[in-house]
Chains A and B, each alone.
Chain A
Amino acid sequence: MSAKDLYPLAENAPDLIKTPSGKSLSELTVDAVMKDEVTAADFAISAEALGVQAEIADAHNRPALADNFRRAAELVSVPQDVLMETYEMLRPGRSDHSSLCERAEMLRCNYGADLMAKFIEEAADVYERRGIFAKRY
């Protein structure tokens, strides 16, 4: 089956997708919630699922969307506080060139976020050139 035909996964390839804890879609039931067999952490997308959605988006001529899914796949394992901290650092006047590059390196080493690291390093260069690091308050 080509990537194009996989969509929607819930209908055409439900077995391809597992929750981060390895459960299948059919195991996510109200009963299972009541028995505490399923928790909030199970209702999350995996890096693999985002990878498949990226292939699907590419197959439908949506390359930029596919790239976003690939960047997103790298962020799945990044904890919420690190995620929010990184977002904050990318806002105008919040950091400087070196701290942003350090952050990129940390994401690369700790989470294998190669695409996002490159993306952030590129932002650091552009910010520097355009004076975006200037403190705003």
Chain B
Amino acid sequence: MSNATDTNRWRRFAEWDERMLRHDLFAAEDPEAGFSVFRSPYDPEPSVAATGGHITEMDGTPEAEFDILDEFIARYHLEPDLVDEAMALEDGAIARMLVDINVPRADLERLARGMTPAKLARVVGHLSSIEIAFAYYKMRQRKTPGNQAHVTNAKDDPLQLAADAATATELGFDEIETTMRVASNSWSNALGCTVGAAVGRGEALFQCSIEEAEELQIGMAGLATYAETISVYGTERAFVDGDDTPWSKAFLTAAYASRGIKARCTSGAGSELLMGFHEKKSVLYLEARCLCLQRAMGIQGTQNGGVDGAALTASMAGGVRELMAENLIAVWLGLECASGNDQRTSESEIRVGAKITPFLLTGSDLITSGMGSIKKYDNSFNPSLFNGEEIEDWMALQRDFEVDGGLSPLDEDRTLGLRIRAVEAMAAVLEELDLAHVTSAQVQSVVFASGSNDTDSFTAGTVTPVSDAIKQRGLTAVDVVRALAKRGFAEEADNLLFMLKQRVTGDYLQTSAIFRNRRVISALNDPNNYSGPGSAYAMSEDRWAAVQNVRGVLTRDRVLAAEALVAAKTPQWLFDTGLAAKGSNPHEVVIGVSPAFGQEIHRTTAGHALPDVIAALMKGIASGGGTARLIRVRKSADTSFIGLSAAKLSGSGYGIGIQAKGTTVLHHADRMPHMNIELFSNAPIVTLEHYRALGRNAALHTFGQNIEPVVVPTMGEAMAARFHARVAILFAIETALTDENAPPVALSLSTSEE
């Protein structure tokens, strides 16, 4: 470590500069520039006036000056017979109702139908982050939480899309969303996800995100079961720049329903700011306008919570709280909520984990409106909050908090089997429909690929003719059913047919509909009726068992079996030679080992074989001019007491205590049990050289020298996380062998006493 200071600066700041967090931007409040979160001085005061069942003023604007958003909200969202009652209630009183377990969700939804955007924004502004989360827990529409996946890749490769879609359904995703690198590949992408989603569980809803007109056509062909791209904005100028109006979007909403396709709108804080038309309003107020519009249009649900503007909103103070608040307004308005969390809002993994936690605790109709089930670089929507890289972290969080985040740990063999099945099904469909010829090398490369960098398959360029052919020839999902059945993929054909049949009844057009076990579950037949402890969604025993079963769970049997394997390979090397006596050699160091040392346990947590550890200690003692003697302590398995017992039998008064797991102490006979001279508490990072140095120190102490203790350097590893679960199981072996009445015995490294 150099002592030179080249800057007049605390070095910690330089270290902080190197952390990923410093890539994030933090924006100042500036209402003039559109940077205000919950409230801007330019936000209108909530107000409403109605005469004869007709709204004549809303949020300070008289009817004559209504812009297209006001006009639509006033006509189709506000219910004239509710406005007086709802608007008269004090903001704080309504906020308290939102978190009151005794006020039913339906009562609040009724009031929301009489509240203006400014009023809704004001009310949720009264809630702290934890209150918003709790209100969301009570107000979300469907009782059973769900989740949505992004399935895309950088090459628009349909084989990989099929494999990854199948993997996503196996993970438990209820919806699969794709988009492409090249717009003209949309039909091929849709086909890839259609086939992949039919493999395995085979009941995930799937969509292809593209320009509105194209998306509706893809849906009509049966190659999409839902649509999520009906974008809505919070100012007139932004809306018109988005090339739509509330009426055109409402028309499109009805068009989707007329074709039996589930649909939801998309909106989010920050979009107007990104488009340059924010009218100096707070992002929450603008989003409240968007959400009132959506209810007015009669859409069943919304994708909101920042979405593309999430990182921008998160750059503002209180921005993450706002993202939660807008989701709350969505469900309060009776909308299904696919609650964002689909943009990497930070480069800090801590901020990412913190961002998702309230949503995991509260649950949501779709916790993310697109979790990257694929690798970050393959995400054609841009990286999501969580991605293929972090899926197991998500599983761990579900397990930590005992919450259902919609995902289940994967079984390696089964997953590989599904991927093979999906790619083969996709190849069969491409061949059967005369769209492309697929080689076995392509299939092989995709099945094992974690991402498109690993594949030797289709590329964006070679896919385009396939996509064009699907569109030009007017192929539909029925052709896909036929191709699957003809090529022997009966189960997949049946799954796809099941999804197509759903459009006949339209059951999944109702609020928050997804499929579980081939049954539609929605806010209608699985309503969230939270009314306090015991009334919330709870995982079934089977579901909880699945959630717990992440990879590499330790069980006592597995830990002991691993030790038994080592034991079986280790011949006996420590021999009991009778009771241990008190020594008289002034330079003797007694090494006391624990009850299981070299008996049931034969290696330390660092992986050192115990014979090597003993050899290192003895070598060290000899190099310091001391004599080593071995004993086994049986009264206790505690390092301090073993060390003290050894010291009390030592001619020099110095003893070393060591447990089988490697924890070691240097002790003296005159000390209190837990007042040792030196201690290796972090056995996993202790090297044989450290043991040798400790032995040497022990011997030097017998000559009355002042000794520099051995320091085992730590790099700050989370030792407890890495070792405690295993150590607790192993240590139980030690404690089970202790015997209060058993005196220490002398040990020898050979069968005959020297």
Contacts and interface: CB of A to CB of B under 8 A. Distances in A.
Interface of A: 7-11, 14, 17, 19, 25, 28-30, 33-34, 38-40, 42-46, 49-50, 53, 56-57, 60-69, 71-76, 78, 80, 83-84, 86-88, 90-92, 116, 119-120, 122-123, 126-127, 130, 132, 136
11 contacts: A28-B501, A28-B504, A33-B482, A45-B260, A49-B504, A68-B254, A90-B245, A91-B245, A126-B71, A130-B68, A132-B245
Give 6 nearest A-B pairs by CB, closest first: A68-B298, A72-B257, A45-B260, A75-B258, A123-B247, A90-B248
B247 A68 contact: no
B493 interface: yes
Given A29-B497, A57-B510, A132 B68 contact: yes
Given A7-B510, A29-B497, A34-B485, A43 B478 contact: yes
B481 A126 contact: no
A91 B243 contact: yes
A108 to B, nearest CB: 15
Contacts of A33: 478, 481-482, 485, 493, 497
Contacts of A34: 482, 485-486
A91 B334 CA distance: 27
A45 B503 contact: yes
A17 to B, nearest CB: 5
B476 to A, nearest CB: 4
A122 to B, nearest CB: 8
Interface residues of B, number: 72
B260 to A, nearest CB: 4
B504 A71 contact: no
A42 B481 CA distance: 14
A22 to B, nearest CB: 12
B524 A56 contact: yes
Contacts of A127: 68, 245, 247
A110 to B, nearest CB: 15
Contacts of B243: 91-92, 136
Contact of B506 (A49, A64, A80, A122): A49
A42 B501 CA distance: 9
A33 B482 CA distance: 7
B741 interface: no
Contact of B494 (A30, A73, A84, A120): A30
Interface stretch (B212-220, B360-368, B676-684): B212-220
B251 A90 contact: yes
A43 B503 contact: yes
A20 to B, nearest CB: 9
B255 A72 contact: yes
B504 A68 contact: no
A70 B220 CA distance: 19
A116 B672 CA distance: 89
A73 B258 contact: yes
A44 to B, nearest CB: 6
Given A69-B509, A123-B245, A30 B485 contact: yes
Nearest to B67: A130
A94 to B, nearest CB: 9
Contacts of A67: 76, 298
Interface of B: 67-68, 71, 75-77, 79, 106, 109-110, 113, 212-213, 216-217, 220-222, 236, 240, 243-245, 247-248, 250-260, 295-300, 334, 476-479, 481-482, 485-486, 490, 493-494, 497, 500-507, 509-511, 519-520, 522-525
B621 to A, nearest CB: 78
B244 A40 contact: no
A62 to B, nearest CB: 6
A38, A40, A80 — most chain B CB neighbours (10 Å): A40
A50 B506 contact: yes
A56 B212 CA distance: 28
A61 B110 contact: yes
A43, A69, A119, A132 — most chain B CB neighbours (10 Å): A43
A28 B236 CA distance: 45
A62 B334 contact: yes
A122 B251 CA distance: 13
Contacts of A87: 212-213, 248, 251-252, 255
Contact of A7 (B244, B493, B500, B525): B525
Given A60-B524, A92-B243, 4 more contacts: A8-B522, A17-B505, A43-B504, A65-B334
A74 B255 CA distance: 10
Contacts of A45: 257-260, 503-506, 509
B510 to A, nearest CB: 7
A71 B254 CA distance: 6
B525 A50 contact: no
A75 B254 contact: yes
Nearest to B263: A68
Contacts of B71: 126, 130
B260 A44 contact: yes
B260 A84 contact: no
Contacts of B493: 30, 33
Nearest to A64: B298
Nearest to B110: A61
A13 to B, nearest CB: 9
Contacts of B213: 84, 87-88
Nearest to A31: B485
B257 A50 contact: yes
A65 B511 contact: yes
B252 A80 contact: no
A54 B721 CA distance: 54
Contacts of B254: 68, 71-72, 74-75, 116
B258 A8 contact: no
